[in-house]
Amino acid sequence: MLPAIILRQLIKNMSSPDFNPAVYRARREKLLRTIFKKHGASVVLMPTAPEMMRNRDTAFLFRAESYFYYLSAFTEPEAALALCIDHRENVRHILFCREKHEEREIWEGFRYGPHAAGQAFSFDETYPIGALADQLPELLTNRQALYTPLGLFPDWDHCVTQALKQVRAKLRDGDMPPAAMIDVRDTLDTMRMTKDAHEIALMRHAAKISASAHTQAIQKTKPGLFEYQIEAELLHRFLYEGAQATAYPSIVASGENACVLHYTENRRQMKDGDLLLIDAGCEYQYYASDITRTFPVGKRFSAAQKDVYEIVLAAQQACFNALKPGMPLSNYHEAAERVLAQGMIDLKLLTGSLDGALESGAFRRFYMHRAGHWLGMDVHDAGAYCEQDTLASIPLAPGMVLTVEPGLYIRAADDVPTALRNIGVRIEDNVLITENGIDTLTRDAPKSIAEIETLRQAS
């Protein structure tokens, strides 16, 4: 149990210089002002995640729910927040959390308790979590709108529904329930899509840690090792450098496993002549990184592996060239498809013209995903990819962070040249959209063939 306790305390530890409660209060204020413009007097109710049992009396390592953390920075379980704004634009920031409990702290570690939490996290009012059910009806009464994450957690939905029933029972007294119930995540998604300076700094550090881990993995890989041994190198570097956890299950895929997009078994013994595809990133203070590198298990790429790798690298560069503020997000997906489809034709994997391959979708046999996704607190972060009313691609704007990860996955088949069979290559970086173009946050992870082969020959 000791490692889990240590990790849990790391996640709780908000004493680092990265933490500033004013950042989170400003987000709450922005959310309330946005809601007020649409509905007037309103209330936001947001729970954290429930604790989940792993087996018998052992729980999974707790992680606060991302939307809740985005607004509060509070990392303890059994918590909820209420944000209120009245018709005069007066606001209340309220946190419900666990009470101090000396005996439980002996077993489980420090708890803030309501009083200390209010001071540490800039809340106007704080109450024990046990008071939530009694206070919800008052918080909901005579509000024009209730914003809450609908359908996120069944127990939370039940709690809110019961409180609404109590408000409706008092209609004869002139009390009114909210006229509208709206999923708060839609509004928060728009906020989360553009990162502030605080978030960018955390993501930059997460990227630095992950780049270091990938460099170490390239250096430590040897024929005869098992994939899980390289996974262990990654995890060691993540935690050693101060990350709290992996941002997602690490993919360490050698040989034919590299052609499985979300392969996480990581049990195969690696052989000389294989490529190793590693898709892994750490989470640092609730912000994710997401890097993929592909390199030879031996000292050098084979000629066929090098051909495939250079096509994917060229596709990634085409994506970088298409990422500019004001341009549609779809541009970089289309750029990747054009380069990769032409590469498939050059490798004799496809026949016919480039336009024909793109129009028919024949290229999707070897490239079946998009060129990337939003990145932030979640590895597949919050935010739409198309405008809701027109379905047009979202225009890029400074502060957005996304992955750029084209790939080629050539499964063995009778119509595939022998030298190309079971070659899987993906190259992924994390990119910040800036006023002038892009900033590649993960540039420290070796990527060129020359860099990789130099590291492999020195290993």
- CA separation, residue 279 to residues 403, 429, 433 (Å): 12, 10, 22
What is the spatial distance between Cα 245 and Cα 213, in angstroms, rounded to a whole number? 13
Nearest 5°: CA angle at 400, between 395 and 406? Answer: 80
Catalytic residue among 92, 300, 338, 369: 369
3-state SS class at 54: strand
Catalytic residue among 143, 192, 293, 426: 426
Please, which residues have CB within 8 angstroms of residue 30's CB and are 6 or more apart in sequence? Answer: 191
Is 57 part of the annotated catalytic residue set? Answer: yes
Note the pLDDT of residue 5.
40
Lowest mean pLDDT, pick from 16-20, 164-168, 201-205, 219-223? 16-20
Note the pLDDT of residue 389.
86
Is 333 part of the annotated catalytic residue set? Answer: no
Is 409 part of the annotated catalytic residue set? Answer: yes
Is 369 part of the annotated catalytic residue set? Answer: yes
The residue to which tokens 């959390």 are assigned:
97
pLDDT of 298 > 70? The answer is yes
pLDDT of 2 > 90? The answer is no
In the CATH scheme, what is the code of domain 2-184? 3.40.350.10
Note the pLDDT of residue 233.
98
Task: Report the percent of the chain where pLDDT is more than 90.
Answer: 93
Note the pLDDT of residue 175.
83
| Beta pairing class for 145-148 and 251-254 | unpaired
Note the pLDDT of residue 15.
41
- CA separation, residue 228 to residues 52, 185, 217, 248, 291 (Å): 26, 37, 11, 15, 18
Is 290 part of the annotated catalytic residue set? Answer: yes
Look up the pTM and report it. Answer: 0.94
Q: Widest CA span of the chain, in angstroms?
A: 81
Catalytic residue among 56, 88, 172, 262: 262
In this prediction, residues 312-323 reach a mean pLDDT of: 98
Note the pLDDT of residue 219.
98
pLDDT of 17 > 90? The answer is no
Residue 12 binned pLDDT confidence (cut-offs 50, 70, 90): very low
pLDDT of 170 > 90? The answer is no
Tell me the H-state helices in 221-361: 227-240, 303-322, 330-346, 354-360
What is the spatial distance between Cα 73 and Cα 76, in angstroms, rounded to a whole number? 10
Distance of CA 62 to the CA centre of its chain: 16
Catalytic residue among 199, 233, 279, 453: 279
Nearest-10 Cα torsion for 263, 267, 273, 279: 40
pLDDT of 324 > 80? The answer is yes
Note the pLDDT of residue 3.
36
Which region holds residue 125: left if phi is over 0, alpha if psi is between -120 and 50, else beta? beta
For 251-279, write each residue's pLDDT tens digit.
999 999 999 999 999 999 999 999 999 99
Note the pLDDT of residue 189.
98
What is the spatial distance between Cα 435 and Cα 59, in angstroms, rounded to a whole number? 45
Note the pLDDT of residue 56.
93
In the CATH scheme, what is the code of domain 194-458? 3.90.230.10
pLDDT of 346 > 70? The answer is yes
In this prediction, residues 86-104 reach a mean pLDDT of: 96
pLDDT of 195 > 70? The answer is yes
Task: Report the percent of the chain where pLDDT is more than 70.
Answer: 96
In this prediction, residues 361-387 reach a mean pLDDT of: 97
Is 199 part of the annotated catalytic residue set? Answer: no
In this prediction, residues 223-234 reach a mean pLDDT of: 98
In this prediction, residues 330-345 reach a mean pLDDT of: 98
Catalytic residue among 65, 76, 274, 290: 290
Domain extents in the chain:
2-184, 194-458
For 33-80, write each residue's pLDDT tens digit.
999 999 999 999 999 999 999 999 999 999 999 999 999 999 999 999
Mean pLDDT score of the chain, rounded to an integer? 95
Residue 19 binned pLDDT confidence (cut-offs 50, 70, 90): confident
Is 115 part of the annotated catalytic residue set? Answer: no
What is the spatial distance between Cα 15 and Cα 13, in angstroms, rounded to a whole number? 6
